[in-house]
Amino acid sequence: MESNKRSFTADFKKYWPLLQNLASKDFKIKYRRSVLGIAWSILNPLLTMLVLTAVFGFMFGIRDYPGVSDFAVFYIVGAAMWNFFAEATSGSMTSVLASASLIKKVYIPKYIFPLEKCLFSLINFAFSLIAVAIVMALRFGRFDMGWTVVLIPLPVLYCLMFAVGISMFLSAVSVFFRDIIHLYSVILTLWMYLTTLIYPLSMIEKQFDPDSPLRFVVYIIKYNPMSVYVNFFRDIVMNNTVPSLEQNLICIGYGVVALAIGIFTFKKLEKKFILYI
């Protein structure tokens, strides 16, 4: 076990420059021939926020529910975390398949490819925080953030652990079952609607009273890992509150379980990748 840890650490240090180069390559490809370039990482969440604020904030009156005094801020803070996860896992899913020619030519630890996609998404997430700051400044007339802003790395780290675990699992399984590549977009859409991204939990609780046979939907949404991460992030950025020990432990638990499943699945299947890519 100790030798495996040393081997992984040595491998990671050796291939860290490659990881950086791959992330840099993805970054350049994404914004190639784009007039606005990196600015799209800021404009995209802002434009999406404007559309959803008009639809859900005003037409559906979600802003009238407790905890959603300002739908624009409510949405964009949650969307930053959700988009990070969605982009990381979607990109990672085909990362091994897309790197087939490189894998066949030279030895490279295959976990580098899904990990690089997660790193690239983390960079985009950092830019999306600029959009969050802009919206908060415009809506509140100032940067309404307390000292809890220094805790932002916590939910990001927790969500990164979870995203890497899911990414490792998806990138390994998709080599053998290509249908999952198409199916995941549907799963991701359903997952988004089961996440407290465009509505607060209080709205769902109001729809399903304690005696309703569909009350289980409330618990699915409440303990959905992404709902937990999104709400954790909102507590820090919007509410200037320190999440409880229980919230931290739940976040860590989801991340550790996802990592364990992802790494186990990846290590179990990676030796057969060469036969299917």
The pLDDT of residue 9: 66
Distance CA(219)–CA(127), nearest Å, equals: 33
pLDDT on residue 251: 96
pLDDT given at position 55: 72
pLDDT at residue 73 in the model:
86
Average pLDDT estimate for 55-76: 69
Res 163 pLDDT > 90: yes
Q: What's the average model confidence in pLDDT over 158-187? A: 95
Tokens found for residue 231: 């709400």
- Which tens digit of pLDDT belongs to each residue from 223-272? 999 999 999 999 998 888 888 999 999 999 999 999 999 999 999 999 89
Mean pLDDT of 69-96: 91
pLDDT value for 91: 93
Q: Do residues 171 and 89 lie in contact, with contact meaning Cβ atoms separated by under 8 Å? A: no
CA dihedral 71, 72, 73, 76 (to 10 degrees): 120
What integer best gives the mean pLDDT of the chain?
Answer: 84
> What is the 3-state secondary structure of the chain?
CHHHHHHHHHHHHHHHHHHHHHHHHHHHHHCCCCCCHHHHHHHHHHHHHHHHHHHHHHHCCHHHCCCCCCHHHHHHHHHHHHHHHHHHHHHHHCHHHHCHHHHHHCCCCCCHHHHHHHHHHHHHHHHHHHHHHHHHHHHHCCCCCCHHHHHCHHHHHHHHHHHHHHHHHHHHHHHHCCHHHHHHHHHHHHHHHCCCCCCCHHHHHHHCCCCCCCCHHHHHHHCCHHHHHHHHHHHHHCCCCCCCHHHHHHHHHHHHHHHHHHHHHHHHHHHHHHHCC
Using CA atoms, how far apart are residues 50 and 43, in angstroms rounded to an integer?
11
Spell out the domain ranges in the chain. 2-275
Euclidean distance between CA atoms 59 and 23, whole angstroms? 40
Please give the pLDDT value at position 68: 67
Is residue 79 very low, low, confident or very high in pLDDT (cuts 50, 70, 90)?
very high
> pLDDT at position 229, please?
97
Which whole number is the average pLDDT over 181-208?
89
User: 0.95 exceeded by the pTM?
Assistant: no
Between 263 and 17, the higher pLDDT residue: 263
Model confidence pLDDT, tens digit, residues 92-118: 999 999 888 888 888 888 999 999 999
- Whether 6 has a pLDDT exceeding 60, the answer reads no
149 confidence band (pLDDT: 50, 70, 90): confident
Residues comprising the chain, all counted: 277
